[in-house]
Amino acid sequence: MSETKRKTRKKSANRELLEARIIRAAEIVFATKGFSGSTMDRIAETAKISKQNLIYYFPNKDLLYKRVLQEILDIWMEKLSMLESPTQNPEEVIRRYVHEKLRLSREYPNSSKVFAHEVISGAPVLKAHLISQLKPQFERDVAVVNQWVERGLIKPVDPRHLFFTIWAATQTYADFSVQMEILLDKPQLDDDDFDEAEAAITQMVMRAIGAD
Amino acid sequence: MSETKRKTRKKSANRELLEARIIRAAEIVFATKGFSGSTMDRIAETAKISKQNLIYYFPNKDLLYKRVLQEILDIWMEKLSMLESPTQNPEEVIRRYVHEKLRLSREYPNSSKVFAHEVISGAPVLKAHLISQLKPQFERDVAVVNQWVERGLIKPVDPRHLFFTIWAATQTYADFSVQMEILLDKPQLDDDDFDEAEAAITQMVMRAIGAD
DNA sequence: TAAAACTTTTACCATATGGTAAGAAAATAC
DNA sequence: GTATTTTCTTACCATATGGTAAAAGTTTTA
């Protein structure tokens, strides 16, 4: 009985492992080629399985793309709900927020790129999720920052544009890494670059909210 | 004689006009669909000519894409070489820089999106141009800001990351406009939004360089 | 060990799309 | 007014690609 369970678990674990590998592969391809430019063949090759086998796991490209986007959104929504501790010191909260956002760019650059392609293209698939998931959280976070301003904890700022700027400034280190590598004369952005970026962005934001 | 010239001029002017219309159409399609997702048929339709006629003007898709990118780069390089007046007041120069960059996002959102798609995809076509055109200017501009710091005209900042942040913060209003429209509950970003964005970004940057 | 379920491969196809070839039509030159 | 050049259309095609159908192979169940 326990043996049966173990076997069943093991098999489905294998499947999950392969699905995860496929999604990772798909993410890489979608990140560099966009949705239309990505072929099932190329994704399969990247995942080191046959195209037909890929289709066995994900019967069509749209579905695979949606799964990739959903995984991305899940990660981001989870890691970026940190403004929900409004009792904390604003400076610390924002510092951590920038830090976390930048860490996502560093650790999930492909996710960031897929997301960017999607939104730039008009978010045909993600629009609904942005409305139902991102928007409510955005509004809560805006409210939190507004309260900080009202309580005089930080200098007056427009929270909406503050968030837009932080998002843009952090994501750019994933999305536009190629441009930076060229301008900084480096084959790859390394940990030092990200640390410098964090210092620069944090400093800017801190000065903006009057916490320097 | 002058009539001949006029006719000749007029004809070639027509051609240039149509080519410009095609490029504009291509830009729209490339912006929303990326390179691979854009079809010659769709571009032709957008330009209101037949696909075969489009091919008469631009014999292949790669060529058309390169032309679009070149036009974009030309506009940007021209408008963004404003740090070359180092004698001017840093505050004013940077203020104008942010203003101009944001104006480009407002006036050429499609250009910005095509550029973004390209760079996110690894800049397969633009890489050479970035090295030969953007990099030298970037290094000059970095040097200028460094001089300001050395002369004590502004607070110490890392010019490279300052530029990355300004670029990201301004371009995001073109590239991620859909996301913002959702979050701000607006069908379209309008002039007020851009003015607010400019105020917010400028304020942040001004505070960052200690000019507030 | 035989059946059942799951996984992978082989064979194939319909459609979309970038592009060629060549002729018709229109504008321009002489 | 005819020749020539330029522009546009019609007909067509080769290839790439997402996907179907079904058989073969492998693992799990009982």
Query: pLDDT of B179-190, one tens digit each?
Result: 999 999 999 999
Q: Give chain A's count of helices (H) and strands (E).
A: 11, 0
d(CA A108, CA A72): 9
Q: How far is the CA of B55 from the C1' of D10 (A)?
A: 14
Asked whether strand D has any atom less than 7 Å from the CB of B9, the reply is no
Residue with tokens 């929504």: A77
Per-residue pLDDT in tens (0 to 9) along chain A, 212 residues = 233 333 334 447 778 899 999 999 999 999 999 999 999 999 999 999 999 999 999 999 999 999 999 999 999 988 877 666 656 889 999 999 999 999 999 999 999 999 999 999 999 999 999 999 999 999 999 999 999 999 999 999 999 999 999 999 999 999 999 999 999 999 999 999 999 999 999 999 998 898 87
Q: Which residues contact B129 (CB under 8 A, 6 or more apart)?
A: B69, B70, B73
Summarize pLDDT for B7-26 with one digit per residue, the tens.
Answer: 344 447 788 899 999 999 99
CB contact under 8 A, A135 and B176: no
Write out the H or E segment, with its range, that includes residue B158: none
pLDDT of B79 reads: 80
In chain B, % of residues over pLDDT 70? 92
- At A11 the pLDDT is 46
Examine the pLDDT at B147 and tell me if it is beyond 70.
yes
Residues in chain B: 212
Q: Which B residues in the span 142-201 are in contact with A, Cβ-Cβ below 8 Å?
A: 157-158, 160-162, 164-165, 167-169, 171-173, 175-176, 178-180, 182-184, 196-197, 199-201
Element housing A133 (H / E): none
- pLDDT at residue A84, rounded to an integer: 65
For the stretch B37-86, pLDDT in tens is 999 999 999 999 999 999 999 999 999 999 999 999 999 988 877 666 65
Question: Closest Cα of chain A to B8: distance in Å?
Answer: 41
Size of interface A-B (CB pairs under 8 A): 164
Q: Which nucleotide is nearest to A42 (CA to C1')?
A: D17
- Which nucleotide is closest to the Cα of A55 by its C1'? D19
Distance from residue B42 (CA) to nucleotide D5 (C1'), in Å? 29
Residue B175: list chain A partners with CB under 8 A: 116, 119-120
9-28 of B, contacting A, C-beta below 8 A: none
Which of B1-5, B116-120, B142-146 holds the top average pLDDT? B116-120
**What is the predicted pLDDT for the residue at A4?**
30
What pLDDT digit, counting tens, does each position of A38-57 carry? 999 999 999 999 999 999 99
pLDDT for position B5: 32
* Nearest residue to A148 via CA among A195, A101, A97, A100: A97
Interface residue B34 vs chain A (CB under 8 A): yes
pLDDT, chain B, mean: 90
b/e sequence B157-181, b meaning 16+ C-beta within 10 Å: bbbbbbbbbbbbbbbbbbbbbbbbb
B24 touches strand C (CB under 7 A): no
Domains, chain A? 1-59 (1.10.10.60), 68-209 (1.10.357.10)
In three-state secondary structure terms, A48 is coil
Place of tokens 């505070």: B207
What per-residue confidence (pLDDT) applies to B86? Answer: 53
Amino acid at B199: A
CB atoms < 10 A from the CB of A4, how many? 8
List the 68-127 stretch of B: residues with Cβ below 8 A of A: 113, 116-117, 119-123, 127
